[in-house]
Chain A
């Protein structure tokens, strides 16, 4: 069974002028087909306004498609009856760490999701403990979220989603507001989580460095999926990526430029070590 599947997904919203009159329709998502298998790590890349966040909100049924369909864990998100099932199977972590933490104490925030699901009290405690351990925040359980760093807050937010035991976690630009240290922290947490819990992860970002481990990458631009494939396949098309205003990792650019100058280097170098290896084997 596919975890997330869309078929010709279209999302339109009304464009309004300053007085609030409708002056036309705007397509944020234009006939998008994606499909994500259970346990995969999928990355969706795109510049600001490419429609990637709008797509993410569809997976959690915060938005429903104007046309086409979206299935999450085999359930149609347009069906109001399935709303809460969809939201439980696909947890969502947002960009701003401050605006998604509800509790005044870390452990209470993590317990918020299970409370909403009607999980019995004893099990809530168990889940809270497990998920705080999974993100490495257990020693902060009695702290106030206001005193945590951005990366730590984001890890608490991830724990809050994990505690609901979703099959799939959607991370909507979780690192966009963080400093480099916080970004690393969050990505490491996501990686560890994938190893421990075998959840499907959909990472939405515009930092290309974050997606090198993905099983599959989708690149979006103007509401359409313009490229898809493994990170290696996608990253080997450096000039195309630059067209979509994405920052290609430095190593990849370097390898690409070297190749253009006539060195025998394969396409789609993703990591420093890889490039070193290749360069050492030359001549």
Chain B
């Protein structure tokens, strides 16, 4: 099941998007996410769709691979759509049975909401598809840099993130090992209802936690032995530098945001069938 989740995974390819500075991608993604909530009309959606399609094309990430990333959020999407569909009371009633009422407004909101959520997820997963975890943490560290002045431990947060990323595969492997060890001792992890299954996880989680703490202790010692003393006075092996393409990317994104807002507002393309 864990293997199915493609959100947040890096997809190695050689595209202009992959080469962009992680800060550019982070800021652009944020702008894009905000832009999705700045319009209401179909014309806005059209602009956003064209933009998103262009970006997907540029990223060289296969479209099918991106769609697969949507699978884990289908449930969430359904719930949102259903709530919007049945709870919005606006305009003509299209359907009524028992306590369920669908109105024209509800249908429109539900469809718009679904599109918005899908675009939201595709947009942000495009960022993680094209950015390695290391670049991402470097980018976050740089962008949050100013917060250092109000004593937010930015460097430490970035360090925690990158160490977590390094240890995910190690801990997964370890979980597998412990599970096998417990099964060999007669542990039953498969049968029973939800509560029994949850209970049977205890003999796996306890050793996993103990070992994780031991690893953390070892790692802290190894880091200190290599003269780690926080972010102060530290140089970077791979410092971030904006290139020409990053400036271009910023311009493109800003033009898009302006376009989506202006067109969304002044080109009222309300071709709605109802």
Contact = CB atoms under 8 A, between A and B. Distances in A.
Contact of B222 (A99, A104, A146): A99
A96 interface: yes
Q: What is the size category of the interface that chain A forms with chain B?
A: 35 or more
A121 B239 contact: yes
Interface residues of B, number: 27
B218 A128 contact: no
A112 B165 contact: no
Interface in B165-186: 165-166, 169-170
A124 B235 contact: yes
A95 to B, nearest CB: 9
A114 B237 contact: yes
A94 B218 contact: yes
A163 to B, nearest CB: 9
Given A116-B229, A121-B237, A145-B166, 9 more contacts: A62-B225, A84-B227, A91-B225, A99-B218, A99-B219, A112-B226, A121-B236, A160-B226, A164-B227
Interface in A102-138: 102-105, 107-108, 111-121, 124-125, 128
Interface in A77-109: 84, 87-88, 91-92, 94, 96, 98-105, 107-108
Interface of B: 133-134, 162-163, 165-166, 169-170, 215, 218-219, 221-229, 233-239
A161 interface: yes
A60 interface: yes
Nearest to B217: A99
Nearest to A87: B227
Contacts of B221: 62, 94
Interface centre among A114, A120, A125, by most chain B C-beta atoms within 10 angstroms, is A114
Contacts of A96: 218
Given A94-B218, A102-B163, A121 B235 contact: yes
Given A94-B222, A99-B219, A125 B237 contact: yes
Contacts of B223: 102, 112
Contacts of A105: 134
Interface centre among B165, B166, B215, B223, by most chain A C-beta atoms within 10 angstroms, is B166
Contact of A100 (B169, B218, B233): B218
B166 A104 contact: yes
Given A111-B237, A124-B237, A116 B227 contact: yes
Nearest to A117: B227
B236 A115 contact: yes
Given A102-B166, A146-B170, A118 B234 contact: yes
Contacts of B233: 118
Contacts of A94: 218, 221-222, 225
A101 B224 CA distance: 12
Given A105-B134, A108-B134, A87 B224 contact: yes
9 contacts: A62-B225, A91-B225, A94-B218, A104-B134, A116-B226, A118-B233, A119-B235, A146-B170, A164-B227
B230 to A, nearest CB: 9
A120 B235 contact: yes
Given A125-B237, A128-B237, A113 B215 contact: no
B221 to A, nearest CB: 6
Contacts of A160: 226
B116 to A, nearest CB: 33
